[in-house]
Amino acid sequence: VAALLGAAGEHHRVMAGDEPTGNVEPILAGGKHVIVIGGGDTGSDCIGTSFRQGAVSVVQLEIMPKPPERENKPLVWPDWPLKLRTSSSQDEGAERDFSVMTEKFTGDADGNVKLLHCVRVDGKMQKVPGSEFTLKAELVLLAMGFVGPVHEGMINTLGVELDKRGNVQADTSKYKTSVDKVFSCGDMRRGQSLVVWAIREGRQCARSVDEFLMGETTLPR
């Protein structure tokens, strides 16, 4: 999660996991109008924490369209049914808005974010002309999920085959790609998933690489 207090995303940005240096005041939502960009589990955690810290208001933005109220099980089976789900954090009073893309931030002379500039998007993620709007924001929390691997650069250079979702295609026994000596695992191979899957596939892929290089391996699978 990234917390944004500064305008245009250039100042006062703190990334989770970074160790603060010097006298750094904690970023708190108390008394602020909070915007959470991202509609997943991490976004829900941001909402709950913001309310517990005393946020004046919390708005959660999601670029995807609003799911249906009820799932169509015969249509989606055996996949996970798509329907609108409300977490306990969201149920605390957050306003949720769908099909929204954030275009830019504006702030005051001190670099503090004050407004979020947004636009509606259609089902193909294209901007809807004339749908621009702004939201008051004093704290913006970026909780956007992993869409897929970036093709520009290494993936395009290597020329590995991709699956229909744009992930690097590899088998689950050896994690070999279509290019010799190139392996793929975790989110790069399966797409957005849980960290436990990344850990599992990383260990199995390491075993395959070790076996490929050494001819045998003692690493666990």
- pLDDT tens for 142-175 read 988 777 898 999 999 999 999 999 999 999 999 9
Pair of tokens at residue 197: 């899957």
- pTM of the full structure: 0.62
Q: Which domains does the chain have, with CATH numbers?
A: 2-142 (3.50.50.60), 154-214 (no CATH)
**Cα separation of 207 and 221, whole Å?**
7
Q: How many beta carbons lie within 10 A of that of residue 39, not counting itself?
A: 25
**Cα separation of 131 and 10, whole Å?**
26
| Cβ proximity of 116 and 134 under 8 Å | yes
The pLDDT value given to residue 12: 46
- State pLDDT tens for residues 5-53: 543 444 444 444 455 566 667 889 999 999 999 887 888 889 999 999 9
Phi and psi angles of residue 213, each rounded to the nearest 5 degrees, phi first: -80, -40
- State pLDDT tens for residues 111-141: 889 999 999 999 888 999 999 999 999 999 9
The pLDDT value given to residue 99: 93
The pLDDT value given to residue 10: 40
